[in-house]
């Protein structure tokens, strides 16, 4: 008798565009504050810079907070499944962060939050909210002062 495996993710609505932009939020395990450092920023940016060519996932704007990160991504026509791509960069970054920051595993929560964006207005509104995170958290007084952010590719609608 075959048993089915229940997914923790809800089924997605059909894509709103042929190639939608996805907004992702990924948290550290136990919301440990370990990402707001140059080591994590350079490591993640490097992985995401190569993921378009290697996995078919292109990262646009991103912002890294101490215990979570937000990124906007778009898949190429031929790409890994989103869950496989996320699992890959979480795995690679975990091993390197554990070694370079001398921390124990796990580094990342198993799950993540994803949302398909419907329009350029939706992207803009979500980014304006995201870039205020360091200000709301009291980490900086001006959004431009937060250095753990960037853009890998321009994901125009």
Sequence ranges of the domains in the chain: 21-151
- Domain at 21-151, CATH class: alpha beta
Distance from C-alpha of 96 to C-alpha of 20, rounded to nearest angstrom: 31
- pLDDT tens per residue, the chain (157 residues)? 444 444 454 444 444 346 889 999 999 999 999 999 999 999 999 999 999 999 999 999 999 999 999 999 999 989 999 999 999 999 999 999 999 999 999 999 999 999 999 888 999 999 999 999 999 999 999 999 999 999 999 997 7
Q: Smallest Cα–Cα separation from 123: which of 75, 157, 84?
A: 157
Confidence (pTM): 0.87
Q: What is the pLDDT of residue 156?
A: 78
Q: Smallest Cα–Cα separation from 68: which of 143, 152, 148?
A: 148
Q: Are the C-beta atoms of residues 32 and 95 closer than 8 Å to each other?
A: no
Q: What is the pLDDT of residue 16?
A: 38
Distance from C-alpha of 98 to C-alpha of 106, rounded to nearest angstrom: 9
Distance from C-alpha of 121 to C-alpha of 135, rounded to nearest angstrom: 22
The pair of structure tokens assigned to 33 is 């504050």
Distance from C-alpha of 47 to C-alpha of 104, rounded to nearest angstrom: 21
The H-or-E segment that residue 72 falls in is strand 68-75
Q: What is the pLDDT of residue 15?
A: 41
Q: Are the C-beta atoms of residues 31 and 125 closer than 8 Å to each other?
A: no
Whether the CA torsion 148, 108, 154, 56 is positive or negative: it is positive
Distance from C-alpha of 143 to C-alpha of 147, rounded to nearest angstrom: 9
The pair of structure tokens assigned to 95 is 């091993």
What is the number of alpha carbons within 13 Å of residue 50 lying toward its C-beta? 9
């Amino acid at each position: 008798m075959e048993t089915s495996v229940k997914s923790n993710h809800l089924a997605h609505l059909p894509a709103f565009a042929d190639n939608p932009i996805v907004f992702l939020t990924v948290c550290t395990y136990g919301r440990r504050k370990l990402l707001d450092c140059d080591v994590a920023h350079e490591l993640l940016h490097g992985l995401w810079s190569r993921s378009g060519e290697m996995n078919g996932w292109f990262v646009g704007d991103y912002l890294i907070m101490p215990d979570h990160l937000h990124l906007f991504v778009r898949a190429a026509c031929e790409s890994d499944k989103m869950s496989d791509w996320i699992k890959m960069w979480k795995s690679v970054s975990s091993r390197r962060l554990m070694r370079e920051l001398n921390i124990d595993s796990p580094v990342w929560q198993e799950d993540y939050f994803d949302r398909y964006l419907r329009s350029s207005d939706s992207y803009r509104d979500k980014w304006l909210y995201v870039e205020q995170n360091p200000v709301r958290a009291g980490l900086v007084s001006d959004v431009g002062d937060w250095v753990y952010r960037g853009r890998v590719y321009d994901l125009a609608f």
